[in-house]
Amino acid sequence: MPRPKQRTPELRDRVLQVAVAMLVDQGAEGFTTRRVAEQARTSTPAVYELFGDKAGLVREVFFEGFRRLRQRFDALAECGDPRRDLLDVIQAFRGFVLDYPLLGQLMFARPFADFDPGPDERAAGQSTREFIVTRVRRCVEAGLIAGDATDVAHVLLALCQGLTTQESAGWLGSSRASMDRRWDLAIGALLAGLAPDGPGWHPTG
C-alpha cells in the first residue's frame, strides 16, 4: 500500500498561516523555519519541501500580505463621491498596516536580508498600487485633483506608509483623536495642494 501523501495543500496552507501569525506576533527576529514547522505540527524538511527554503516561505508570506490587503480593498463599496471613495481606500490601508504592522514591514520595508523581491513580488505590489491609481484617476476625472494619476498614487501611498510607520511606533500622538487629526491634516494638505485651483508644486531647478 502506498504511503499517504504528507505534503498536502492543507499542510501548505497551515504552514503559511502559522508563518504569517508568527511574523505578526514576533517579527522578523523570531521568525525561523524550525519554529514555524514546530507550531504547524510538521517537520523542517517538510517546510523546505513545500517552500524550497526560508526565503521561499517568506516570499509566500509576502504574497499573503498583499492578498489580505487586496481583500480589504475589494470589500470597499463605492459611494459615488470620488474623494470619499479615495479616503476610504486610505483608511483601509491604514487599518491593515496597523492590524499587521510587522507584515506591513515585510511588504514595504524588506526586513529579511535573505529576501529580495523579484518580478512576481513587485507585480503583487503593483496590483495594490493599481487599485489606488484607479481611485485617484476618478478624482482627476471629476476635477478634484490635477496631475498624473500614477504619480499622485505613488506619492499618496508613500505618505500613508510614513504615517502608519509613525502611528505604529507611537510617534503620531497619544490618543485616537490626535492621530486622526494628524492624518486628516496630512492627507487634506496633500489633496488640497493637488486640487486644480490649489497652490500645486512646481520644480525650481
The answer on pLDDT for 180 being more than 80 is yes
> What pLDDT is stored for residue 135 in this prediction?
96
pLDDT digit string (tens) for 47-90? 999 999 888 898 888 888 888 999 999 999 999 899 999 999 99
> What pLDDT is stored for residue 199 in this prediction?
65
pLDDT above 70 as % of the chain: 87
Question: Average pLDDT over the chain, rounded to whole?
Answer: 86
> What pLDDT is stored for residue 117 in this prediction?
63
Q: Which three cell numbers stand for residue 87?
A: 479616503
The answer on pLDDT for 2 being more than 50 is no
Q: How far apart are CA 20 and CA 104, in angstroms?
A: 11
Kindly indicate the confidence band of residue 153, based on its pLDDT and cuts at 50, 70 and 90.
very high
pTM: 0.83
> What pLDDT is stored for residue 3 in this prediction?
37
Over the range 139-151, which residues count as b (16 or more CB within 10 Å of their CB) and which as e?
Answer: bbeeebbebebee
> What pLDDT is stored for residue 115 in this prediction?
60
Q: Which three cell numbers stand for residue 142?
A: 471629476
Kindly indicate the confidence band of residue 200, based on its pLDDT and cuts at 50, 70 and 90.
low
Task: Report the amino acid identity of residue 137.
Answer: R
> What pLDDT is stored for residue 6 in this prediction?
57
Comparing 98-102, 135-139, 147-151, 189-193, the range with the smallest average pLDDT is 98-102
The answer on pLDDT for 91 being more than 60 is yes
Q: Which parts of 27-141 fold into alpha helices (H)?
A: 33-39, 44-51, 54-74, 82-99, 101-109, 119-141
Q: Which three cell numbers stand for residue 64?
A: 499573503
CATH no., domain 9-194:
1.10.357.10
Sequence spans of domains, the chain: 9-194
